[in-house]
Amino acid sequence: MVALGMGQGLAHAAPDQATDDAAAVGTAAADDTYTQAFLTQYGKIKDAGNGYFSADGIPYHCAETLIVEAPDHGHQTTSEAMSFWMWLEAAYGRVTGDWDPFNNAWAVAEKSLIPADVDQPSNDSYNASSPATYAPEAPEPSAYPTALDSSVSTGSDPIAGELASSYGTKDIYGMHWLMDVDNIYGYGNKPGSGGENGPGAGPSFINSYQRGAQESVWETIPQPTTDLFKYGGTNGYLDLFVKDSAYSKQWKYTNAPDADARAVQAAYWAYTWAKAQGKEGQIAGSVAKAARMGDYLRYAMFDKYFKQIGDCTSPTGCSAGSGRSAQHYLLSWYYAWGGAQPGGGWAWRIGDGASHQGYQNPLAAWALSNVPVLTPKSATAKGDWLKSLTRQLEFLCWLQSSEGALAGGCTNSWEGRYGTPPAGTPTFYGMAYDWEPVYHDPPSNNWFGFQAWGVERIAEYYYVTGNATAETILRKWVAWASSETTVGADGSYSFPSNLSWTGKPDTWNATSPGANAGLHVSVVDYSNDVGVGASYVKTLTYYAARAKDVDAAALAKSLLDAMALNGDAKGIAVPETRTDYSRFKDEVYVPTGWKGTMPNGDPVEPGVTFIGMRSWYKDDPDWPKVQAYLDGGSAPSFTYHRFWAQADLALAFATYAELLVDGGDNGGGSTDTRPPSVPENLAVGTVTSSSVALSWSVSTDDTGVTAYDVFRSGTKVGSATSTSYADTGLTAATAYSYTVSARDAAGNSSALSAAVTATTKSGGGTGGGAVKVQYKNNDQNATDNQIRPGLVVVNTSSAPVDLSKLTLRYWFSSEAGASSFGTWCDYAALGSGSITHKVVAAGGSLTGAGYYLQVGFSSGSLAAGASTGDIQLRLSKTDWSNFNEADDYSHGTNTAYADALKVTAYVGSTLAWGTEPT
């Protein structure tokens, strides 16, 4: 596999003919190396001996069982896995002409993850003028249950009537996001049964996350979707989440909109490819199901309680919506629905006001509003998806950082309770910017995978339509991602893993969008994750095919070839060290006085741990590796075969084969051999101890300049699409020489510019040393009983920093009667177990600084230019009395990371960053 695919030309069929031109989308050549790689990977996934599917034909989340991430067991499944399966079978149909597997994937989804009528029995009682009763969310699991509040007005649901009329039922047609495929918990919520059947074989609907933004997978209390009070406590599991005067047996489901949109995306490609083969009739039924799913997916476009969009800053002050005033037109994090059990009485539906960049899908929005066979039946659906397409593209433009990566998202309901965002928070159509929408442990937009997943959909949309806005977003993103990617001659490779964010976007102005000069991303660490890599390769492939970008095509090929070297009997996978598995012993919050049991008898009560509610994990053959770690050994390493990742690898091979193999002209037909003019007027701008800013004049070219390559002392250090570049991670008091070359779309490069020299400034104790510290405030209430700083350390030098020698001090004022404190690390990108923390009395009479929270690192090294990523800390007095943080030396009100000179850093006993209090 080292030399996969000797040909690497760019596809020469015009992408805007992709929906009609059989030459562009027809069955791939059977003798193509990458197509063969697709078929080999496909065969491994479908091999029953490799364990990707259950006896019922449902794909597992992972072939291995001991894995905790979004699902907390490998043999659960998600609507995400189901949608990747549909997409995999669509590609198989293109390659082989066999469409039965694609139809089967849809049939399995309908039988398992899409609840049948008996599983959602009280929908006839749904009142669209009163969709649900308001219950505020809370930042911490310890604040739950939160009380239902009928005094807060909710809006009306404008699409329920047309959906019921279009399909002859009030049932929802969408995939529930989570299923316990082997019924390991034992609830026995079997699809089509409408109730709890207890332990035994067969799939079971379950749910998990219910308790606010800080609730990680390690803090969840799983529950059945149909709660008949058979397990849990007196009221089943309901009173762990919602406070009410009385509780009724009920059912409830949650939809992950990105998965349903991916299913539509898969159906679009299946239709396109089958039509090119003259076989579109064979999949007409499945494509109609996708259109129907897209109709109901519009619930993800509405505020959670159908309140007005924009400027919602209090539960009572935010008006109830009517008609389209509650519709933000983005794909939010979820929509949900439920009702009374065993039937009748009442039912409810909610949308969500929080939208994440990684969930948007312009291709699905375009297909649902432009492809007749995918146009939903409801009268207003096409118009909704047309507007959603425009709104999604605006949203993605709004969130693009100066470097090119996409920041988190927005919310119509700050902290899930229509709170008031911090002063100065920018907005998108009145919705507040949130760099980590929905989940904070870990922060929801730190994972590069959300970049790759989301931008790939933009690239597909661009490939199909040539949309200029999509091209602009992609050109900048691809340049950034490419500059952070390496592929070695030995087959090693790396690309970003975790990201860190500072600043914020400009408030959105549709007629004059801002430049987001203050919004920045940095890479915390790097990864060789094959699933993320597959999505990244597909992004590069679709972009390269349409833009005729030879560099993007070459990077796609080299990454794909490098990942292929990690093949094994089950697929393609790399080992991963799981330091987060220390959290198996984390306590899961259960309210005082609450007591219940899981179906196997495990207790659910105050003090219970994650593993304490899942004792069956100790029977897993891989458990001894985790136990050894919990007993003080080294962190365990596992090689996982996640279904979505293995499917996406197969799709990466198929996509590359379809679009970039055998193009024959290595540039989409271009015969351009003329290089751009040499960049002139190269100049040095702002210089710090660790960075140099450069600028130059625009180069000219007969077809257009696409990028400028920057060289430091003869070695390329990065590229820019504009006429400026900041070189960072440099050594203090050091001279550097720079030159720049211009490059056009055909790959022609100019000669190097005249050189300039810059000398970095000397380091100093107030920020010019080897590290800097960034801070954000995770708790805007300055007078409650906790202080919650977020910290990031950045290595600003060109040499690694020994973290074991580094300490930080967050200074706060002494409080009357305070003498002892408790400290916690709620989350750290490096692993909470690697962070040390304690409160130290400062001594003397320092202003605003009677004490400091000292933060250290048990071990590790921070590479040049890298950062630790998010560290979320918390401290309280042992008597839990309130603080007054207003006069604390290190206290700030910023909710996004910014350089913080009042949080000091030390290497040994030497001040390396910041200014100490006096």
Check if the beta carbon of residue 610 is closer than 8 Å to that of residue 589. no
Phi and psi torsions of 775, nearest 5°: -135, 150
Q: Report CA dihedral (588, 590, 596, 601) to the nearest 10 degrees.
A: 10
- Contact (Cβ atoms closer than 8 angstroms) between residue 842 and residue 851: yes
Fill in the amino acid letter for 526: Y
Cα–Cα distances in angstroms (integers) from residue 79 to residues 178, 449, 600, in the given order: 7, 17, 26
How many of the other CB atoms lie within 10 Å of CB of 767?
21
Structural contact between residues 896 and 502, judged by C-beta atoms closer than 8 angstroms: yes
Strand pairing class (821-828; 835-841): unpaired
> Going along 357-475, which residue ranges are E strands?
409-411, 427-428, 431-434
Query: Which amino acid is it at 388?
Result: S
DSSP code of 906? Answer: E
Return the SS3 of 611: helix
Query: Using CA atoms, how far apart are residues 504 and 521, in angstroms rounded to an integer?
Result: 10
CA-closest candidate to residue 172, choices 395, 402, 334: 334
For the annotated catalytic residues, the residue numbers are: 490
Token pair of 713 as six digits: 């002392």
The Cα–Cα gap between 94 and 32 comes to: 14
* Cβ count within 10 A of residue 592: 6
Closest Cα to residue 865, out of 528, 405, 522? 522
> With the C-alpha atoms ordered 241, 243, 248, 250, is the resulting torsion angle positive or negative?
negative
Q: 3-state DSSP call for residue 848?
A: coil
Type and span of the H or E element at 820: none
Write down the residue that tokens 């190396």 correspond to.
33
Tell how far CA 100 is from the center of its chain: 32
Rounded Cα distance, 110 and 317, in Å: 41
Write phi, then psi, for 41 (nearest 5 degrees).
-65, -40
Q: How far apart are CA 566 and CA 588, in angstroms?
A: 37
